[in-house]
């Protein structure tokens, strides 16, 4: 190991002098196994520069959906375009842009018919292509981040496009999420075509994407968008059984309910949906619906805000979808409809989201059922008191566990964990998400390194470990083992490779002691 460390120091010095970065593969042998570590030393222009400059984040230039089969003849090219943003773009420019993308896709098919182009890199922007259904193409064009550097003697500022800052895997995942979110609320493109031909499809696309694209914040997209994971709430067995019993009682009393999902503090506890459906529904709930209805939360069973009159609990339950006030004689009993996978392809459901304190329950009922005042009052009377008690119990148990574990100390490391088998994700890098942005507690360049490491993991099937030394004195470690991925950022200026490896082992022992990671 001494020899390996000596190589690391020499590469570090050479890197600093030459202004480039190198990859060193270090092999070392222990008693019963071989382990492979890739060590990378790298620097970012944003980290190194000290000049006065103005930075611009990536932004959405255009977003369009087309089908090449809809306008095959000359002069009918506009018929291919099903949706185009921004809509004020002149018609001929839309046709040119769509035609260029169509040509790129067709050209790349000649090399690999089963895997056409996914992205196109240019100096000023990057284009991402996705074919969710046969012959239906979604294209997203993102302007590259750029820097304006001030020139002397009053000359115009020089603009420098940072062509390699965007990660294909991140923004490709964002593009796929756009389609998944559309499909959740509208079904497939093919379904709209069957119901009302091109006219109905274009109406649905315009209505959905006009609002949805305004919620895209491309400057904050990162590795979590690639994973699209679910954060699970840690719970003791007894409280979990209480929740399971609550779900069973409600489904037995209200036989119309087909699927149920239970969340606490924006984290999932129970769901009867398929994983892929739950993944996109969870994203909608935590990044859109819940932030719009945020409120001060109650803290524990003994809260003075918890009213009890003559032994009857006045609950805190309310509908987040559907009627805002059941006592209002003009209340509207309309619920959003969602589409989930089923054995017949898909099924359409009413989405009822009901919340009490920090606990939220989603009930899904067949869209063929008529839901009116009587049903909503029955659900409110049944679920409200029980959910309020459950939310108080969960909060109390959570606070007890926190007191037992002691005060939280600021750790020397931050991490992201993802399990591909159950979509479980945990991050100490990301602060609480808001409706408009996902805040991170580390520099964007470190997030880019995480994305680069993940891209390397995707290219190989074997378990692997990669260690990166950034010039800001941070160490970044990525471990891939048995369909699980762990990424750790360490702020230890004077640590060496051995010490970093030991620190990651300690992290795995304390935070993931019931999870097996290959060494």
CATH number at residue 116: 3.30.450.70
- Can you say whether the dihedral through the CA atoms of 321, 322, 327, 331 is positive or negative? positive
Report whether 415 contacts 427 (CB < 8 A): yes
DSSP-derived 3-state class of residue 443: coil
Going by the DSSP 8-state scheme, the letter that residue 79 receives in this structure is G
Do 282 and 205 fall within a single domain?
no
pLDDT computed for residue 451 by the predictor = 92
DSSP-derived 3-state class of residue 77: helix
Q: How many CA atoms lie within 13 A of 131 on its CB side?
A: 15
Task: Evaluate whether residue 40 is within a structural domain.
Answer: no
Do 445 and 504 fall within a single domain?
yes
What is the DSSP track for 171-224?
A: HHHHHHHHHHHHHHHH--HHHHHHHHHHHHHHHHHHHHHHHHGGG--GGG--HH
pLDDT computed for residue 439 by the predictor = 64
Do 423 and 487 fall within a single domain?
yes
Q: How far apart are CA 396 and CA 52, in angstroms?
A: 51
Report whether 440 contacts 223 (CB < 8 A): no
Task: Evaluate whether residue 353 is within a structural domain.
Answer: yes
Do 335 and 465 fall within a single domain?
no
pLDDT computed for residue 155 by the predictor = 73
Task: Evaluate whether residue 208 is within a structural domain.
Answer: yes
Q: How far apart are CA 189 and CA 182, in angstroms?
A: 9
Residue linked to tokens 């000023």: 124
Nearest-10 Cα torsion for 295, 301, 302, 308 = 80
Report whether 97 contacts 103 (CB < 8 A): no
Residue linked to tokens 């892929």: 276
Which stretch of DSSP H or E encloses residue 159?
Answer: strand 158-161
Do 360 and 397 fall within a single domain?
yes
Task: Evaluate whether residue 382 is within a structural domain.
Answer: yes
Do 246 and 370 fall within a single domain?
yes
Enclosing domain of residue 478? 413-512
pLDDT computed for residue 5 by the predictor = 33
Report whether 360 contacts 354 (CB < 8 A): yes
Task: Evaluate whether residue 309 is within a structural domain.
Answer: no
Split into its structural domains, the chain has a count of: 3
Task: Evaluate whether residue 18 is within a structural domain.
Answer: no
Do 164 and 78 fall within a single domain?
yes
pLDDT computed for residue 215 by the predictor = 87
- Can you say whether the dihedral through the CA atoms of 398, 428, 264, 437 is positive or negative? positive
End residue of a domain, out of 405, 439, 458? 405
pLDDT computed for residue 336 by the predictor = 94
Q: How far apart are CA 512 and CA 184, in angstroms?
A: 33
End residue of a domain, out of 354, 381, 405? 405
- Omega before 294 cis (within 30°)? no
Do 426 and 286 fall within a single domain?
no
Residue linked to tokens 């699209």: 228
Do 147 and 204 fall within a single domain?
yes
Q: How far apart are CA 55 and CA 69, in angstroms?
A: 41
Q: How far apart are CA 287 and CA 53, in angstroms?
A: 33
Joined tokens for residue 460: 């190989």
Joined tokens for residue 321: 């979808």
List the end-to-end C-alpha distance of the chain, in Å, as a whole number: 16
| φ, ψ at 298 (rounded to 5°) | -80, 155
Contacts of 313 (CB under 8 A, 6+ apart): 307, 385, 388, 389
End residue of a domain, out of 377, 405, 433? 405
Contacts of 200 (CB under 8 A, 6+ apart): 192, 193
Q: Is 447 exposed, middle or buried (0-12, 13-18, 19+ CB in 10 A)?
A: buried
Q: What CATH number is associated with residue 393?
A: 3.30.450.30
Task: Evaluate whether residue 34 is within a structural domain.
Answer: no
Nearest-10 Cα torsion for 378, 384, 385, 391 = 150
Going by the DSSP 8-state scheme, the letter that residue 230 receives in this structure is B
Report whether 499 contacts 8 (CB < 8 A): no
Q: How far apart are CA 230 and CA 419, in angstroms?
A: 10
DSSP-derived 3-state class of residue 48: helix
Report whether 63 contacts 85 (CB < 8 A): yes
Q: What CATH number is associated with residue 487?
A: 3.30.450
Do 80 and 189 fall within a single domain?
yes
Chain-centre distance for alpha carbon 220? 11
Across the chain, which distance is largest between two alpha carbons, in Å?
Answer: 81
Task: Evaluate whether residue 228 is within a structural domain.
Answer: no
Report whether 471 contacts 477 (CB < 8 A): no
Do 398 and 368 fall within a single domain?
yes
Q: In tens digits, what is the pLDDT along the chain, a chain of 519 residues?
A: 333 333 333 333 333 333 334 343 333 333 333 344 555 555 454 554 445 678 888 999 999 999 999 877 788 888 999 999 999 999 999 999 999 999 999 898 888 888 888 999 999 999 999 999 999 999 999 999 988 887 776 677 788 888 888 999 999 999 999 999 999 999 999 999 998 889 999 999 999 999 999 888 888 889 999 999 999 998 888 999 999 999 999 999 999 999 999 999 999 999 999 999 999 999 999 988 988 877 544 444 334 334 433 344 577 889 999 888 888 888 888 999 999 988 778 899 999 999 998 899 999 999 999 998 999 999 999 999 999 999 998 988 888 877 776 555 556 678 999 999 999 999 988 875 554 555 677 888 888 999 999 999 998 888 888 998 887 788 899 999 888 999 999 887 778 888 888 888 888 877 776 665 555
Do 396 and 424 fall within a single domain?
no
Report whether 516 contacts 482 (CB < 8 A): yes
């Amino acid at each position: 190991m001494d020899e390996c460390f000596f190589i690391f120091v020499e590469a570090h010095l050479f890197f600093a002098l030459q202004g480039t970065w190198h990859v060193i593969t270090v092999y070392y042998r222990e008693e019963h196994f071989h382990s492979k570590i890739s060590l990378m030393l790298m620097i970012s222009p944003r980290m190194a520069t000290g000049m006065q400059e103005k930075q611009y984040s990536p932004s959405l230039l255009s977003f369009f959906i087309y089908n090449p089969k809809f306008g095959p003849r000359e002069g009918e090219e506009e018929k291919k375009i099903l949706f185009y943003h921004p809509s004020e773009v002149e018609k001929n420019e839309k046709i040119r842009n769509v035609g260029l993308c169509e040509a790129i896709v067709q050209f790349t098919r000649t090399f690999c018919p089963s895997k056409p182009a996914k992205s196109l890199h240019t100096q000023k922007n990057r284009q991402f292509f996705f074919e969710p259904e046969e012959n239906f193409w979604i294209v997203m064009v993102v302007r590259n981040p750029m820097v304006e550097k001030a020139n002397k003697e009053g000359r115009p500022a020089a603009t420098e496009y940072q062509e390699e800052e965007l990660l294909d895997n991140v923004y490709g995942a964002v593009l796929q999420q756009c389609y998944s979110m559309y499909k959740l609320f509208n079904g497939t493109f093919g379904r709209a075509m069957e119901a009302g031909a091109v006219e109905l499809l274009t109406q649905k696309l315009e209505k959905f994407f006009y609002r949805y694209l305004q919620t895209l914040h491309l400057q904050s997209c990162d590795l979590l968008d690639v994973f699209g994971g679910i954060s699970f709430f840690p719970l003791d067995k007894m409280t979990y059984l209480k929740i399971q019993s609550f779900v069973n009682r409600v489904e037995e009393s209200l036989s119309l309910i087909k699927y149920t999902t239970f969340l606490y503090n924006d984290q999932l506890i129970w769901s009867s949906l398929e994983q892929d459906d739950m993944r996109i529904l969870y994203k909608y709930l935590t990044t859109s619906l819940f932030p719009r209805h945020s409120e001060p939360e109650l803290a524990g069973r003994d809260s003075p805000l918890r009213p009890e009159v003559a032994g009857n609990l006045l609950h805190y339950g309310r509908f987040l979808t559907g009627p805002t006030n059941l006592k209002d004689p003009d209340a509207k009993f309309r619920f959003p409809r969602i589409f989930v996978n089923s054995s017949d392809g898909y099924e359409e459901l009413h989405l009822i989201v009901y919340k009490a304190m920090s606990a939220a329950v989603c009930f899904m009922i067949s869209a063929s059922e008529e839901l009116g005042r009587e049903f909503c009052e029955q659900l409110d009377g049944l679920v409200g008191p029980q959910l309020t008690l459950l939310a108080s119990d969960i909060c109390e148990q959570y606070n007890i566990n926190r007191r037992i574990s002691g005060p939280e100390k600021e750790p020397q490391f931050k991490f992201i964990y993802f399990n591909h088998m159950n979509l479980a994700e945990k991050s100490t890098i990301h602060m609480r998400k808001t409706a408009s942005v996902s805040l991170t507690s580390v520099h964007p360049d470190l997030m880019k390194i995480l994305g680069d490491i993940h891209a390397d993991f995707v290219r190989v099937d074997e378990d692997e470990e990669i260690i990166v030394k950034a010039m800001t004195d941070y160490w970044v470690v990525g471990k891939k083992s048995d369909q699980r991925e762990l990424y750790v950022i360490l702020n230890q200026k004077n640590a060496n490779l051995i010490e970093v490896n030991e620190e990651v082992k300690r992290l795995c022992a304390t935070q993931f002691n019931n999870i097996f990671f290959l060494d």
